[in-house]
Amino acid sequence: MEPLFPILILAIPLFMFLFLGLLGKYMSHKWAGILGTAGMGVTLILAYCTAFTYFFSGSPEFIDGTQRLQYVAFNVDWLQLYDQLVIRIGFLLDPISAMMLVVITTISFMVHLYSNGYMRDHHGVWEKGFQRFYAFLSLFSFSMLGLVVATNIFQMYIFWELVGASSYLLIGFYYTKPSAVSASKKAFIVTRFADLGFLIGILILSYYTGTFNFTDLTSVGVEGMTDVFKVDLSTAESIKDLKFTASAAPMFMGASVLTWALVLIFMGGMGKSAMMPLHIWLPDAMEGPTPVSALIHAATMVVAGVFLVARLFPLYLMEPTSLTIVTVVGAITAFYAAMVACVQVDIKRVLAFSTISQIAFMMVSLGVASPDFHEGLGYMASMFHLFTHAMFKALLFLGAGALIHAIGSNDYTDMHGLRKYMPVTHITFLIGCLAIAGIIPFSGFFSKDEILSSCLGNSTITYLWMSMVAGLTAFYMFRLYYLIFWWKEHKVHEGHHAPHDQPWTMTLPLVILAAVSCVAGFIPFGDFVTWNGEAYDFMAHFDWNVATVSLCIAVLGIGLATIMYRKENPWPQRMRQLLPGLWRWCYHRFYFDELYMFITHKIIFGCVSRPIAWFDRHIIDGTMDGMAYVTNKAAYAIRGLQSGKVQLYVWVYLIGALLLGVITAVCLI
């Protein structure tokens, strides 16, 4: 394949960023929007062509018999530190990166299109900084595309930080709003803190393996691994034997360095993917414009952590401990976020916690994936869920954006009974809810069902736990749905004009994404994305029992939500009084923010920062100040000597010379 398309896929968004960023203020809002959207549209077409070529051309570069190969479109030296250590920038095509190309460009294009309508008010007045907004969206698209096609872990790290930076810029888009500013800072600091672990993990991994390349790191072939672990593997036959060699690597605090490296790398993923306890930034990130939440904080950037684990999956497979950690973190987060989502008032917050919960589903799915069970079903399920979730969650967020745009508030209490006014938004939002709840023909059902199947393959407890979370998902999504579109009607609307559906730029993405959410479940995903590239027919492994159970649970959740929230009734209040403690804890997100505030302000600031600051001010600065003080005083003391009178200087010189002469004479005699 020619490297032209891959280069253009990265170059166009970067160019659009520079173009709109530098020249945007000289062009009209309308043209900036059209140009940004058109640029993304071209990228979308190129990415589709690339993915299509990769999956369907059958060329021997991409597929060897039934096994899909990793294909490097280009790989240029970017930073040559010395002969052995070269950092490259390249373009790696393999099943997951091709799939991510499709997901990112699709969602990004939809969001570009949607923002044309969203970023102006009802009278058609454009938001301040509209061009800047498009420039940042392009920057984000560039960074995210660079992240998923990274050929080496260092390139991934670079783009990883770039998506973090563009996320920071976009959350803080309304920089005059203090809450947006603090949310952007929070997001940046929390993810940066997690990236510290990621960086250390990268350094450990590359130190012990001597390579940054994903292809070398993850090649399951014996010859690749020999290099990687510097252990003689002439006897190793399969991945089972490799487990042994991995544990033969040096140990540190009771775990092998590989485990440490993988856990630290996973910490980076936890930060980006908002896993507990590093999830606190994501709900606050909803301060950004809603299209940004749809693109970055629902569909693409937050799944970077899942993508990272998937990318290094063969390594994780060698260390069962690290996979267990992934599973446990994912399972706890999924439950926690689902609980919190049940009581939030702000619709974007509900969706944010739902995102956390769904990403945790993907993490769990990766954690329980094993080649021994259904040939790595979990890996495929995770990627499948990533795909479907990106579509329906972007749909839900864009729908929420349409509602917020129409009402001017984030609270469902201002919305109630909107179904008559906004029929398109209503139907598409309902489809999104059905998809996330896992009702049969919609995409979420298939991906979630596979995740639950692979959980069952791991252990019954995981399966039951995740099924319960799936039920909660259905419950909180339909609670949200009923509270927005049903319940009693508000009378506030009468003064203003009634809320109505939005312009076509906003409804078209909703309709397209809803259509995708309806049919995406029927994509034979196993043919495209599997952990080892072998095509795999998941219908053959389809477990009807699991499917029936999960469907029943989803219906149960929806039914409960219908009883409690379809009409105004005392049940929610009664439930709240029944479990006041639980309600309060959920409402306050289990006091995680307060816990962080306590740790940072009281413990870190109080016990560490303040003493250090005192030492700095008084001891270090004091020494310097003291030196300056002494110099100053001495200068004042001898200031009078510099009289500026030439003749006095001559006298002094003369006397000095004579004295020296006398001394010399005395010494000589």
Partner 1 sequence: MEITMIYYLIPALIMFCCGLYGFITRRNMIAMLISLELMLNAVDINFVVFNRYLYPGNMEGMFFTLFAIAIAAAETALAIAIIINVFRKIKNVDVEDLTKLKD
List of residues contacting partner 1 (CB under 8 A): 643-647, 650-651, 654
Cβ nearer to partner 1, comparing 461 with 648: 648
Closest CA to 307 of 513, 101, 453: 101
Cβ nearer to partner 1, comparing 630 with 658: 658
Q: What is the DSSP string of 594-610?
A: HHHHIIIIIIIIIIIIH
Cα–Cα dist 386/380, whole Å: 10
Cβ nearer to partner 1, comparing 607 with 650: 650
Cα–Cα dist 251/259, whole Å: 9
Query: How far is Cα of residue 143 from the mean position of the Cα atoms in its chain?
Result: 12
Q: Report the nearest approach of partner 1 to the CB of residue 642 (Å).
A: 8
CB-count burial class (<10 Å; 0-12, 13-18, 19+) for 578: exposed
Interacting residues of 563 by C-beta distance below 8 A, sequence separation 6+:
571
Cβ nearer to partner 1, comparing 522 with 651: 651
Q: Report the nearest approach of partner 1 to the CB of residue 643 (Å).
A: 8
Cβ nearer to partner 1, comparing 22 with 659: 659
The two three-digit tokens of residue 93, written as one number: 């095509």
The two three-digit tokens of residue 12, written as one number: 């166009």
Q: Report the nearest approach of partner 1 to the CB of residue 647 (Å).
A: 5
Q: Report the nearest approach of partner 1 to the CB of residue 663 (Å).
A: 21
Q: Report the nearest approach of partner 1 to the CB of residue 644 (Å).
A: 4
Q: Report the nearest approach of partner 1 to the CB of residue 662 (Å).
A: 17
Q: What is the DSSP string of 293-310?
A: HHIIIIISGGGHHHHHHH
Virtual torsion, Cα 140, 144, 150, 155, nearest 10 deg: 40
Q: What 3 state SS string does 82-133 have?
A: CCCCEEEEEEEECHHHHHHHHHHHHHHHHHHHHHHHHCECCCCCECCCHHHH
Cβ nearer to partner 1, comparing 84 with 647: 647
Q: Report the nearest approach of partner 1 to the CB of residue 659 (Å).
A: 16
Q: Report the nearest approach of partner 1 to the CB of residue 648 (Å).
A: 9
Would you say 293 and 283 are in contact if contact means Cβ atoms under 8 Å apart?
Answer: no
Cβ nearer to partner 1, comparing 570 with 644: 644
Cα–Cα dist 423/412, whole Å: 17
Q: Torsions phi, psi of 251, nearest 5?
A: -105, 155
Cβ nearer to partner 1, comparing 123 with 639: 639
Q: Report the nearest approach of partner 1 to the CB of residue 628 (Å).
A: 24
Cβ nearer to partner 1, comparing 540 with 646: 646
